[in-house]
Structure 1
Amino acid sequence: MAFSIIMKRKQHWENVFSTKTEKEVSWYQQYPQTSVDFITALELSSDAKIIDIGGGDSYLIDALLDLGYTNVTLLDISANAIERVKKRLGDKASQVTFIESDILEFVPVEQYDLWHDRACFHFLTRKEDIEQYAELADKAITKKGRMFIGTFSEEGPKRCSGLDINHCNEESLSLVFEKDFQLKGCFSENHKTPFGTTQNFLFCGFKRKNIV
């Protein structure tokens, strides 16, 4: 990917997380109940490797630590977002692995039992970037690993944070990952923003295909 595109994307998100409070962005959740419900239903071991892709300063990491998970990673393009999470966690920040990276520049050095992405994937609008994301997930997820993606549905907003977005339905999202992952189920959910508006999300769970 061209260096200028990466820098432009990073500058955009650094600006967002340096000029807006957590309740001044549409994706804010006081508690990530949907994600927590999915993760706890998997009955993962407490030392399962979990990565939150493009998590920003969401409260998922806090919730995972409170639930007793001991091997959690937050990846985000914004250093400002990561610093906000570290400050909020205080001493607990030492229990988290933080990775500052554009998702398409991420080079995983280990594999994860759960890949979680709420609201990062839908910012990838180019076909080649979406394909690269799928290839990265294949490399980064264990043989028995799971993936949970929350993205704007076809009824979702046209733009988010001033950026164009990629809308998905169950079929189109499944096609992105069909080479390596089996779709286990999807559901839609309305997210209430801090501004009183509603955004429709599509949440889908995937598991590795059995390899003969």
Structure 2
Amino acid sequence: MPDRTTHWQNVYATKGEAEVSWFQDSPTISLDMIRAANPDRGAAIIDIGGGASRLADALLQDGYRDLAVLDLSANALDAAKKRIGVAASKVDWIVADATTWRPAKAYDVWHDRAAFHFLTDSGDRAAYVARLRSAIVPGGHVVIATFALDGPERCSGLPVQRHDSASLAAELGTDFELVETRSETHHTPWDSTQAFQFSRFKRRG
């Protein structure tokens, strides 16, 4: 099995934006949850595992000015930058693994619809949470979407770890309070369905 970076570089080198199961034309629930966190337009927001997602486009259109997108795949980020065009210069594009990355700044909102459920090893999940803790400000919000307990067991040829809000709360620890959780039946580009859950937490303090 190739390492994570090689795997995702290959995925985005060989498939178009709408040729992957997780493609969304509009990231509606992600946007709703970020807006519900009520960040001002200068708030620092990071999308973990953002890849070629259209969330950055939507947040720019909403007027947010301090955005970052982190992904293992430079190919994925390049696709997003090409799609967004000139406005892509307003986004901090970070090529890194969320389990080993060293955040250079603090964020008000941490969003992840793509990375956490691929962390099937407990050590990787602990490393991810350590980075999250070092990056999110007190009172900041964390939105994590994963495959739900009745969702797929594999994605893009890789095993996944399915979650609900309780298992995510256990991973994040008592410093984070669950604020809301929502279910989504995601329709893939080829008309199959996948069960997702979205949970938003607020850091205490």
TM superposition score category, shorter chain reference: over 0.9
* Residues 149 and 163 in structure 2, CA contact (< 8 A), matched pair in contact too: yes
Matched, 1:70 2:65: yes
Unaligned runs of 5+ in 2: none
Compute the displacement of 1:50 (Å). Answer: 0.2
Q: Which of 157, 182, 190 lines up with 2:177 in the alignment?
A: 182
Q: Which of 91, 101, 107 lines up with 1:112 in the alignment?
A: 107
58-67 or 175-184, which moves further after superposition?
175-184
* Residues 100 and 128 in structure 2, CA contact (< 8 A), matched pair in contact too: no
Residue of structure 2 in register with 1:87 after alignment: 82
Residue of structure 2 in register with 1:172 after alignment: 167
What do residues 52-105 of structure 1 show as CA deviations (whole Å, max 9, x unaligned)?
000010000000000000000000000100110111111111100000001112
Structural mapping, 1:26-65, within 5 Å = 26-65=21-60
SS in 2 for 1:144: strand
- Figure out how many residues of one structure are paired with residues of the other and give that number: 205
SS in 2 for 1:105: coil
Percent of pairs with identical residues: 46
Compute the displacement of 1:144 (Å). Answer: 1.5
Runs (4+) of structure 1 moved beyond 4 Å? Answer: none
* Residues 24 and 54 in structure 2, CA contact (< 8 A), matched pair in contact too: yes
Q: Which of 145, 148, 164 lines up with 1:150 in the alignment?
A: 145
Q: Which of 93, 116, 123 lines up with 1:121 in the alignment?
A: 116
* Residues 120 and 159 in structure 2, CA contact (< 8 A), matched pair in contact too: yes
* Residues 138 and 180 in structure 1, CA contact (< 8 A), matched pair in contact too: no
* Residues 104 and 129 in structure 1, CA contact (< 8 A), matched pair in contact too: yes
RMSD of aligned alpha carbons? 1.1
Q: Which of 192, 199, 205 lines up with 1:204 in the alignment?
A: 199
Compute the displacement of 1:43 (Å). Answer: 2.2
What do residues 33-61 of structure 1 show as CA deviations (whole Å, max 9, x unaligned)?
11111112222111100000000100000
* In 1, Cα distance between equivalents of 2:55 and 2:166: 27
Matched, 1:11 2:11: no
* In 2, Cα distance between equivalents of 1:42 and 1:207: 9
Unaligned runs of 5+ in 1: none
Query: What TM-score does the superposition give when structure 2 sets the normalisation length?
Result: 0.97
Query: What TM-score does the superposition give when structure 1 sets the normalisation length?
Result: 0.94
Amino acid in the other structure paired with 2:142: M
Compute the displacement of 1:180 (Å). Answer: 2.1
